Amino acid sequence: MDRKTLGKEAERSAETWLISQGLQLIERNMNCRVGEIDLIMTDGESLIFIEVRHRKNKHFGGAAESVDWRKQRKLLRAARFFLAANPCWSKHPCRFDIIAFEGNNTPLWYRNAFQN
């Protein structure tokens, strides 16, 4: 499987798993001029912006560690864009989560992985 296909498969797995954990999907693969957000979901009253990462192994760092400050900045900008375009969500508390797949393991869920 190529890298893009693996990434899409990881995103579908993350979505299914998060729904089983009680989250509700708002939007998937939100693209805008400043970036992309893999999944936007709600957890109770909170709006969650989720980055899904997959790594076959940890030779070059783990999946969660690959969300560096540059990627965090892009996610934050994309989230601001989403909130500006969807003002009905602007009053909800927001957080940024990472779902990390390493090998074929169960996903690792990093809630509130970084601050805005």
- Residue 59's pLDDT is 55
pLDDT, one tens digit per residue, over 18-42 is 999 999 999 999 999 999 999 999 9
Q: What is the pLDDT of residue 57?
A: 56
53: number of Cβ within 10 Å: 24
Decide: pTM greater than 0.85.
Answer: yes
In which element (H, E) is residue 35 found?
strand 35-43
For tokens 């003002």, name the residue. 87
Cβ atoms of residues 77 and 85 within 8 Å: no
Which two tokens mark 3? 């890298």
pLDDT score at 26:
97
Alpha-carbon gap, residue 5 to 83, rounded angstroms: 29
pLDDT digits (tens, 9 = 90+) for 46-81: 999 999 987 765 655 566 667 778 888 999 999 999
Question: What does the alpha-carbon distance between residue 29 and residue 37 come to, in Å, rounded to a whole number?
Answer: 6
Q: Which pLDDT value is given to residue 86?
A: 95
User: For position 85, what pLDDT does the model report?
Assistant: 95
Domain boundaries, the chain: 3-114
Q: Could you tell me which CATH number the domain at 3-114 has?
A: 3.40.1350.10
